[in-house]
Amino acid sequence: MKDRYLGFVNSPFGTSIARTLGLPKPEVLRRHRADQPEFGGMATIGAGPSPVLFDAILGVLSAVGMTGVAHDSAPGWLPVAARHGAMSGRFEPRSRDAAPADRVHALIFDATGIAESGELHAAYAFFHDAMRSVARSGRIVVFGRAPSCSANPRTATAQRALEGLVRSLGKEARNGITANLVQIDDGADIDATLRFFLSPRSAYVSGQVVHIAAAGDVIPADWSRALAGKRALVTGAARGIGASIAAVLAQHGAIVTGLDTEAARDALDQTMLSIEDLSPSNGAHAALLADIAMPEAAAEIAMALAAAGGIDIVVHNAGITRDKTIARMSGELWDSVIDVNLSAQERIDDALLAQNVLRAGGRIIAVSSISGIAGNRGQTNYATSKAGVIGRVLSMAPVLKASDIAINAVAPGFIETQMTARMPFGVREAGRRLNSMGQGGLPVDVAETVAWLANPGSAGITGNVLRVCGQSLLGA
């Protein structure tokens, strides 16, 4: 189902109608295209006291061909840039429609040194001065510290306060601009994450908080094929979000095993064929038929993957909805949703881990939902299963650290799929508009988020739940 309103208000005729009537005009989000440069423009740099990330940020900007200019709050940026021989300069306000090379594509604020609430003023000063200069589909990235790891309550308080700032900035920015907060531990590697947030690949991720611990990150030799040599399993890969995840992981270089049920055999075969066409693997991409609701499926999947030499990335995407209010819901509808969406993930991971099929350095990425966070009328079964997925991620993360495996969840909001196309008009329109982007996301937005979490450079990200929801208003 195409978002006709989005298309209309961005057509020449629709633009003038929208302006005349004062209608909201959601931005056509810039997404990754192979024929367009991924990065470009300038990043304006701001900072609180004692920022620690200038070298790391400069490294990423230089690598992707962006220029960092210093806001008054970040006088230390210029000497760092000079030392690296990087282009730099002082921030000056600009039009958000300036020529591409001159556009402020990103505002990056290093808040790692903010130690008490009074020092938050630096963040205010930066965004006050720079907010209007951010280009359409631009990016706001704030780096801070995990409150739970802060030296004292005052620092923890100020760091937590940044959440309120970033979420408010996301709601003020509009024009397809995202705002996210990245909390780093000492020694954490920010490259994969800053690249993701600067890139059009993160088009529908906004209002999120990510924590990165220090870990044995492996910097990809070729960032455009960061998953080269990795083997990935994607459940529910025949259609929709799962098919997109399989395709995007393959584009990033992974060898993908797409799993779905016998009933979806034809769709799965087509999906895997199109992936082979676009991202050739000499036939190593594979379809695997299994009904994960069957108790024996987990062992069969583990055996099949072991025979192929093991696996590096497991994406638990398979899920079903069987919506009814609880008073009208049969026991079968409850059990099937809990089993497929939650218990099957447990069985599969247990089998993979018991037999060491999931290799060290591996990743588990589970698909949750904002229904699992906020609850939803008519979805007691679905919301329960998806809240359980979050519980798995939080509880397995410390257990899996010993095996050098990271586990995270993505929680999609309103994503345009066959499922949402079948919604009643009012529900669908509300889902599309009640977020900071004013539109639904696309399956590729979820897929790119999964690919970032699967990146060898994201080893320090574990136990996180990332919403892919355009900063939906809905939550808890």
We find the least distance from the C-beta atom of residue 261 to a second copy, in angstroms, to be 20
Length of the chain: 476
Out of 17, 23, 278, 326, name the contact with a second copy by CB under 8 A.
326
Between 12 and 426, name the residue whose CB sits nearer to a second copy.
Answer: 426
Between 55 and 350, name the residue whose CB sits nearer to a second copy.
Answer: 350
We find the least distance from the C-beta atom of residue 440 to a second copy, in angstroms, to be 17
Residues 95-154, interacting with a second copy (CB under 8 A): 116-118, 120-121, 123-125, 127-128, 131-132, 147-148, 150, 152-154
CA distances from 90 to 39, 70, 126, 197, 277 (A): 20, 5, 13, 23, 47
Between 54 and 127, name the residue whose CB sits nearer to a second copy.
Answer: 127
CA distances from 203 to 139, 353, 423 (A): 9, 34, 24
Name the segment binding a second copy (CB under 8 A); options: 5-13, 222-230, 372-380, 413-421. Answer: 372-380
**Residue 343 in contact with a second copy, rule: CB under 8 A:** yes
Radius of gyration of the chain from Cα atoms?
Answer: 22
**Residue 372 in contact with a second copy, rule: CB under 8 A:** yes
Residues 396-415, interacting with a second copy (CB under 8 A): 396, 399
3-state secondary structure 26-58: CCCCCCCCCCCCCCCCEEEEEECCCCCCHHHHH
Out of 87, 267, 293, 338, name the contact with a second copy by CB under 8 A.
338
Q: Which residues have C-beta within 8 Å of that of residue 320, sequence separation ≥ 6?
A: 336, 337, 340, 341
* CA-closest candidate to residue 112, choices 147, 81, 88, 80: 147
Number of residues that bind a second copy (CB under 8 A): 77
Tokens 């038929």: give the residue: 289
Out of 76, 136, 375, 420, name the contact with a second copy by CB under 8 A.
375
Which stretch of DSSP H or E encloses residue 257?
Answer: strand 255-260
Residues 456-475, interacting with a second copy (CB under 8 A): 473-475
Between 90 and 377, name the residue whose CB sits nearer to a second copy.
Answer: 377
Known catalytic residues are 382
**Residue 331 in contact with a second copy, rule: CB under 8 A:** yes
We find the least distance from the C-beta atom of residue 116 to a second copy, in angstroms, to be 8
We find the least distance from the C-beta atom of residue 348 to a second copy, in angstroms, to be 13
Write out the DSSP string of 142-183: EEE--GGG-SSHHHHHHHHHHHHHHHHHHHHH-TT-EEEEEE
Between 31 and 160, name the residue whose CB sits nearer to a second copy.
Answer: 160
Between 86 and 374, name the residue whose CB sits nearer to a second copy.
Answer: 374
We find the least distance from the C-beta atom of residue 435 to a second copy, in angstroms, to be 12
**Residue 378 in contact with a second copy, rule: CB under 8 A:** yes
Residues 380-399, interacting with a second copy (CB under 8 A): 380-381, 383-392, 394-396, 399
We find the least distance from the C-beta atom of residue 467 to a second copy, in angstroms, to be 8
The rounded distance, in Å, linking the Cα atoms of 64 and 195 is 8
Binding mask 160-199 for a second copy (x = CB under 8 A): xxxxxxxxxxxxx---------------------------
- Strands (E) in 279-356, as ranges, are 286-289, 311-316
The rounded distance, in Å, linking the Cα atoms of 248 and 254 is 9
Name the segment binding a second copy (CB under 8 A); options: 61-69, 312-320, 325-333, 356-364. Answer: 325-333
Out of 274, 336, 376, 420, name the contact with a second copy by CB under 8 A.
376
Residues 9-28, interacting with a second copy (CB under 8 A): none
Between 58 and 158, name the residue whose CB sits nearer to a second copy.
Answer: 158
CB-CB contact of 176 with 148 (8 Å) = no
The rounded distance, in Å, linking the Cα atoms of 3 and 7 is 7
We find the least distance from the C-beta atom of residue 240 to a second copy, in angstroms, to be 21
Which stretch of DSSP H or E encloses residue 104?
Answer: strand 104-110
Out of 88, 199, 202, 371, name the contact with a second copy by CB under 8 A.
371
Between 64 and 297, name the residue whose CB sits nearer to a second copy.
Answer: 297
Q: Which residues have C-beta within 8 Å of that of residue 391, sequence separation ≥ 6?
A: none
To the nearest 10 degrees (0 to 180), the angle between helices 240-251 and 443-454 is 50
Between 82 and 326, name the residue whose CB sits nearer to a second copy.
Answer: 326
Binding mask 293-312 for a second copy (x = CB under 8 A): --------------------
Residues 208-267, interacting with a second copy (CB under 8 A): none
CB-CB contact of 190 with 57 (8 Å) = yes
156: β partners: none
The rounded distance, in Å, linking the Cα atoms of 105 and 124 is 19
Residue 315 has phi, psi (to 5 degrees) of -115, 110
Which stretch of DSSP H or E encloses residue 362?
Answer: strand 358-367
